[in-house]
Structure 1
Amino acid sequence: MQSKNELVQLPLLNKKQITLVLKREDLIHPFISGNKYRKLKYNLLEANKVGYDTLLTFGGAFSNHIAASAFAACEMGFKIIGVIRGEELERNWQDNPTLLKAYENGMVFKFVSRETYRHKEEVSFLFNLKKEFGDFYVIPEGGTNELAIKGCEEILTQEDRQFDVVCTSVGTGGTVSGLVNSSFEHQQVIGFSALKGDFLKTDIERMTTNPRWKLIPDYHFGGYGKITAELVAFINNFKQQTQIPLDPIYTGKMLFGLLDMVKHDTFVKGTKIVAIHTGGLQGIHGMNSVLKKKNLPLLHI
């Protein structure tokens, strides 16, 4: 399957005379969708080129990256180890749809405490993992490294030259950095942070020297993986109006923020915007289990 540009038609956009197109990167692949496909592409080619047969990566309970990496490894014949944040998950990981699917695709889990997980990039941490599992090719949490940015530079095409603004959600900064690098000189790239805190700006500055971007920190809904009844209602209403499903971790927050900015006249009339749907729909099932426990409305599947 291929990505496609889909016009979003909403009364607010018509009223404000703004054109919004959603680039459906979620349609690239049924299991390795969106930016995860882009980030993994050159990493897996490199791992194969240098002769590794095992991958190791990192993630949390409902990580899109963990799910996508496991499927991609299986498809390309790699063994894969997942270092999972939260040792309490080891007791009942079979009840977690993301981890169960990753296991079915051959991922071997290493559950660690949140405190231990903070040291995942240290040499001693990786040394101990190699003593336990043998040699492996490391893919960072979220998949972001230079090869991932190279893959994300391929999201925009010549067809996208027509747009004035490019929008994406931001987790580790790799996707937005790739978009900034490949954007056309008249375009501004806007990243919507899915995380609480201002460290992402510094991270992005290390990954790109192009100045045509800004980071919007106001629509994280409490932080990474956090969700509210207001966000659930927005995602459900958006799907009802457009028939396009959104994930609650990234794209849902980005579009909530973008449409709120449209509502408050951030963009001049006639502005053409392309927003990137980065996939992640597999996480809806897991998020619904969390929402159910909190007695909150569920996301429509």
Structure 2
Amino acid sequence: MIQTIVLPDLSETQRASHRLDVYRGDLENRIAPGNKFHKLRYHLKEAEKLGAIHIATFGGAYSNHLHAFSKTVVNAGFAPLIIVRGELQIGLTPTLRDCADDGAVLFSTDRDDYRLGLESRVKNEVEQEYANVYWIAEGGGGELGVLGCRDWADSISAFSAGSDGASVTRLGSSNNQPYDTWCVASGTGTTAVGLACSNAVKRLQVFNALKGAEGIENTIEALTHDFIRTYDGISAQDVFSKMAFWHSRNCGRFGGLPDEIAEFLRALYVMNPELRLDPVYTGKLVYNIWRKIKENRWRFRSALIIHTGGLQGWRGVKRERIPYPEFL
């Protein structure tokens, strides 16, 4: 489904000059919504090809990736192993409790070791205890995650154009013209690279969701080079020329939700009661586009925002900042 967003507190001229549509990835795949399943799908195929019994990954205590990972892995017939950043608490977070209920085995590690990822001490310890383990980087990253997101971009493009014969559901919009740009929030950079590697995407605005993580551009460059070495059909220059990066100091730390963004999301909910945005990625993306429109610094007349899911992340937010009644 594609939905037009009605933004609060804009002038009539600003409202008429800019249209924001959102592709509701949060409505895809009940157990792994948004980009989550797309980043995992080729990893699952590779794990099956290699005869893996267990699939292991990394994530934080409220990680959307972990929440989707455990359910998807079990559904595919594998046993999930999860390395959690920091010490496990006696009272697990709702996210980790769901993972444990799915049958995932949880391991904790200190933050310094966690940062080493596939080179960490805890990875070696897990492999001494479990046989035939297939590893997925934090957030479902890597070349196979990019490949899944490239396919996702192709399917979104076909859906938005109606070229696959599907009946395109649009709320508040009947405009089927191509978009000036696509927009996506970035954490590991995997989804952004996948979208930019699709021929269907001509221009992509990448919004950094993490304060102090301006190095995401270097991460995306390295991941792009890794991907195109394996998968032909596009040059690194083609990919980089599509992308523009937006960094914001008002997004707060990862998982944090500053007051001004919480207030914006509450006002947005009043005007778009059927829309749900997550507090870590897409919610912050829409907030920053809104600010740029208000300041007359947004030059695109029509933009397609890719909703990457993650609504379960509201369970880690203080009640007074939550706009949606079902998460209170």
Task: Please say whether Structure 1 and Structure 2 have the same fold, judged by a TM-score greater than 0.5.
Answer: yes
1-structure distance, mates of 2:197, 2:12: 31
Q: Structure 1: where are the runs of 5+ without partners?
A: none
Measured against aligned partners, the alpha-carbon deviations of 1:216-267 in whole angstroms (never above 9, x if no partner) come to 1115522211211211111222122112111111111111011111222233
Task: State the distance in 2 between where 1:280 and 1:53 align.
Answer: 27
Distance 1:178 1:168 in 2: 11
Corresponding residue for residue 100 of structure 1: 97
CA contact (8 A) 1:153 1:181 kept: yes
RMSD: 1.9
Q: Partners in 2 of 1:27 and 1:257 — Cα distance?
A: 23
Secondary structure of the residue that 1:267 maps to in structure 2? coil
| Correspondences of 1:7-86 after superposition (within 5 Å) | 7-10=4-7, 12=10, 15-16=13-14, 17-86=17-86
Task: Please say if residues 5 and 22 of structure 1, whose CA atoms lie closer than 8 Å, have aligned partners that are also in contact.
Answer: yes
Q: 1:146 to 1:231 in 2, by over 3 A?
A: same
Q: CA distance change for structure 1 residues 107 and 172 in 2, over 3 Å: closer, same or farther?
A: same
| TM-aligned CA distance change 1:259 to 1:51, over 3 Å | same
Paired amino acid for 1:91? I
Deviation at 1:128, TM superposition (A): 2.4
Alignment of 1:1-301 (within 5 A): 4-10=1-7, 12=10, 15-16=13-14, 17-87=17-87, 89-93=88-92, 96-122=93-119, 125-156=122-153, 157-158=157-158, 159=160, 162-184=178-200, 187-195=202-210, 196-208=212-224, 209=236, 210=239, 211-218=241-248, 221-243=251-273, 244-268=275-299, 271-287=301-317, 291-292=318-319, 296-300=320-324, 301=326
Structure 2 unmatched runs, 5+: 162-176, 225-235
Q: How far off is 1:283 after superposition?
A: 1.1
CA distance in 1, matches of 2:250, 2:138: 19
Alpha-carbon distance in structure 2 between the residues aligned to 1:299 and 1:82: 31
One-letter amino acid of the counterpart of residue 275, structure 1: I
Equivalent position amino acid for 2:266 in 1: N
Distance 1:201 1:221 in 2: 17
3-state SS of paired residue (1:154): helix
My pick for the range that moved more, 231-240 or 145-154, is: 231-240
Q: Percent identity?
A: 31
Distance 1:267 1:236 in 2: 22
The answer to whether the 8 A contact 1:56-1:82 is kept is: yes
Question: Secondary structure at the residue paired with 1:127?
Answer: helix
